[in-house]
Amino acid sequence: MTVKSIIISRPDDWHVHFRDGDILKTVVPFTSKFFGRAVVMPNLTQPVINNRIAKLYRKRIIDAVNSEHQFSPLMVFQLTDNIILHELVCGFENGLLTACKLYPINKVANPYYGVTDIKKIYNVLSVIEDLGIPLLVHGEIYEKYVDVFDYESEFIKYVMIPLRLQFPKLKIVFEHITTKEAARYVLDSDEFVAATITPQHLMFNRNKMFIGGIKPHFYCLPLLKSIVHQKALLDAIKTGCDRFFLGTDTAPHLKIYKESSCGCAGVFSSPIALALYATVFEKFDMLKYFEAFCSFNGPKFYNLPVNKNFIMLTKKENIVCDSIFCCNDKLIPFLAGEKLSWSASVIK
């Protein structure tokens, strides 16, 4: 029997990039319309590393939310060698801080705002383990000796496994996983390890980015992987494990920076995120896991309540807009101009 509509509890997006300035004002409403909460990445030009910056950034986000939308941004501190532990603890105890973010060594433009050696923040990790603050990890190793398609699997061996041995009760979100190794690692882990999965890594493999000419709007980090890894992500969801949940990693860049000789990584998916997920869940016969993945699993891991209102997904043609004007340029949505088979609407 063909499913014509689905009603789910209002979902949350556990990984978004809102940027700042005019881009923030442009993109926030796409998330706030359909999602009750979103975990906001802290990697701005001036990263979110203390309560003052977090409060100001949160206000800018809230100011960009449509007055009819019911939405709360969840703030994250970017960990650095010099993070002030007192700031972190106060932010969490006052309800401002939801999680901490660990970016890959050698991936932060300004070393002052990065972690050069994870052992330098062991004291911080010990405290957030005790407090139950989730650690969000971009699980890749960026080293010249590592093949770009192996960044994630190498991260598991050289960072994740030692980290968990040192801090076994540290809550970790392995963000935007892309490989069979990561899927298996999460499945084999205990209740302290979860993972987000993006729509693009479920829908496509690396053939989509390369065959027929390079497609810059499919370029994201972590990269799309082979069909073997794509299938492993789908199979992980089909297990019904409640430690996989929605995280779009929507990451807008202006067209001029995407379509260039050295283009930026990031897929701008927020305008059609739920339609993307519904499309791939239907295609691979996973709709019975759809609401849990979108609406239940994330709140359970973060110890937050499920949102009380609802969203409807309807089986009808949905043509993705070609572009969105911003900053005297354009933002190009993922799958711009293409047809999707699902549309999302808010139940009032």
Which of the residues are catalytic? Answer: 249
Query: Is 268 marked as a binding-site residue?
Result: no
Which string of DSSP letters, residue by residue, matches 95-133?
Answer: T-EEEEEEPPTT--SSGGGS-S-GGGGHHHHHHHHHHTP
Query: Is 303 marked as a binding-site residue?
Result: no
Answer for the pair 38, 340: CB distance below 8 angstroms, yes or no: no
What span, in angstroms and rounded, lies between the C-alpha atoms of 152 and 147?
A: 10
Query: Is 348 marked as a binding-site residue?
Result: no
Query: Is 249 marked as a binding-site residue?
Result: yes
Query: Is 253 marked as a binding-site residue?
Result: yes
What span, in angstroms and rounded, lies between the C-alpha atoms of 78 and 75?
A: 10
Query: Is 17 marked as a binding-site residue?
Result: yes
Over the range 70-108, which residues count as b (16 or more CB within 10 Å of their CB) and which as e?
bbbbbbbbbbbeebeeebbbebbeeeebbbbbbbbbeeb
Answer for the pair 16, 51: CB distance below 8 angstroms, yes or no: no
- DSSP letter at 259 equals S
How many other β-carbons are positioned within 10 Å of the β-carbon of residue 253? Answer: 24
Query: Is 201 marked as a binding-site residue?
Result: no
Query: Is 217 marked as a binding-site residue?
Result: no
Phi and psi, residue 335, nearest 5°: 60, 35
The contacts of residue 274 (CB under 8 Å, 6+ apart) are 11, 34, 294, 311, 313, 342, 344
Query: Is 43 marked as a binding-site residue?
Result: yes
Query: Is 313 marked as a binding-site residue?
Result: no
Per the listing, tokens 């059609």 go with 272
User: Roughly how many angstroms between the first and final C-alpha of the chain, as a whole number?
Assistant: 28
Binding-site residues, in ranges, read 15, 17-19, 43, 101, 138, 176, 221, 249, 253, 265
Binding-site residues for substrate, in ranges, read 17-19, 43, 138, 221, 253, 265
Binding-site residues for Zn(2+), in ranges, read 15, 17, 101, 138, 176, 249
